[in-house]
Amino acid sequence: LALNSDINLLDWMDILYKKQFDLIISFQSIHYVNDLDKMSSDLDKLLKPKSKIVIASTTHQQFSELPYCLFFPKVLEIEVNRTPDFDKIVKAFSSRNFRILHTSDFKINKKFKNSNEVRDWLLQKPFSALALLSKADFKIGLHKFAQNFTNEMLVDEFTLLVMEKSE
């Protein structure tokens, strides 16, 4: 389904609710959802029976292992507060008769030539939580990240959850 970017959001939702899909993917975006139960209800309506939903999200435990969450002040707290943990996601969808088919954990490492390359990468704010920091906190995090520089660093970690809607 491709939609014109000029379309009104309410019109878009009307169009969307007239469709049913075989697969919906939510990749590292569930932290933008204010009401997980409503989301699971809405996605239940959009999916055909026996269709799949794939959700990729970082768990609270995984956040606590990520260098950007450790080195930048307040980022771990931001991420944990805005992201529902794995059990909460599963509960919201299980209550709508989705069943887990598969889960996999992924770790993503990035190779850096030197600490300047790390700094340049971080200045792009590759994680949305970094954009929420004050300039002072961001500067502290940049310094700590550079101090802990290695040629290959863990930059992301997430769990992929595949669920199927019951008939």
Rg (CA), the chain: 19
Average pLDDT, the chain: 89
Is the pTM higher than 0.85?
no
pLDDT digits (tens, 9 = 90+) for 111-160: 999 988 989 999 999 999 999 999 999 999 999 988 888 899 999 999 99
Confidence of residue 53 (pLDDT cuts 50, 70, 90): very high
pLDDT digits (tens, 9 = 90+) for 25-51: 999 988 888 889 988 988 888 899 999
Q: Report CA torsion sign: 97, 100, 105, 108.
A: negative
Question: Is the per-residue pLDDT at 2 higher than 60?
Answer: no
State the virtual CA torsion across 74, 155, 65, 79 in degrees, nearest 10: 40
